[in-house]
Structure 1
C-alpha cells in the first residue's frame, strides 16, 4: 500500500480544450498497469476538442452538469453520480453545460504510451445543438 500526496492542479492545454479547464492527476501506474486517472474541472461552456481513446474512456461526474457528445449527434447529460463509457475509437467530446461548472473523474488506459488521438475543437453550433438534443 502506498499513500500518494495530492498532485498539483494545472490548466489544461489550450490546443486540446475550449475555455478554462483544469486537470489534477490522480494516478498513473507503473507497468504492468495501464491506468491513468485524473480529476477534470470545466468552467461553464468549457469542453474538450473532439478526440478518441485507443482503449476507451470512462467518465464519472462528481459535480455540476456536463455533456458528452459523439460524431453521430448523440448527447448524454451527466449529473453528479453519473458514469459514461466511450468505447475504443469512438470520437467524442465532453464538457460543462453552458450554465454550470462540471467536474469528472477521467479514467483511461495507455497502450504503448498512447491513450488519446486529438482532433479539432467542437464548433459553437455543435455545442449549442448538444444542449437541445440530449438523450437523457
Structure 2
C-alpha cells in the first residue's frame, strides 16, 4: 500500500495526517503491517504510526527519554508490563516514562493511528525486548 491509497477515507483513519510508507525499517519489531510518516523536523522524533487491524509492536523500553502517544483515529491498545491493557480511542494521550516496558497497537478489528513523540534526552534509545505473544494479545481483546 502506498501513501496515495485511500485508506484514510474508507477505514476511518485520519485525513489530516499522512499515512506514510510501509514501516519496513522497524517491521522486525512489529506483528502485522504498520505505516510510518515522519512529521516535521526528523530531529524531533515525531511520527504518525498507522497499524492495520491486529498489528502491534513488541514489548519495548525507552531508555533515558520517554514517549508520548496521541491517539488520532481508530481503536487500539497500550499496556505496561504487570498492568492491565488500556483501550485507546481518538483524543487519548498516553505519557510513557523512561524505563517502562510496554507495547501498543491496533485492536483486532480496527485500524489504529497515533502520533508518537519521542521525549528528548541525552543518550536516549529504544530497546526492543520480545514480541507480544498471540496469547497476551488475545487476553486484552476479551
Band of TM-score, shorter chain: 0.7 to 0.9
Q: Report the equivalent of 2:35.
A: 22
Question: How far apart are residue 8 of structure 1 and its match?
Answer: 8.5
- TM, length-normalised to structure 1: 0.81
Identify unmatched segments of 5+ residues in structure 1.
1-5
Q: 1:108 aligns with which of 118, 123, 134?
A: 118
Question: Per residue, is there more helix in 1 or in 2?
Answer: 2
Q: Report the equivalent of 1:63.
A: 73
Q: Report the equivalent of 1:77.
A: 87
Question: How far apart are residue 45 of structure 1 and its match?
Answer: 0.2
Q: Report the equivalent of 1:123.
A: 133
Question: How far apart are residue 77 of structure 1 and its match?
Answer: 0.8
In 1, the alpha carbon distance for the partners of 2:102 and 2:73 equals 20
Identify unmatched segments of 5+ residues in structure 2.
1-16
Equivalenced residue count is 123
CA distance 1:68–1:8, shift in 2 (3 Å) = closer
In 1, the alpha carbon distance for the partners of 2:111 and 2:85 equals 18
List 4+ stretches of structure 1 deviating above 6 A: none
In 1, the alpha carbon distance for the partners of 2:119 and 2:40 equals 11
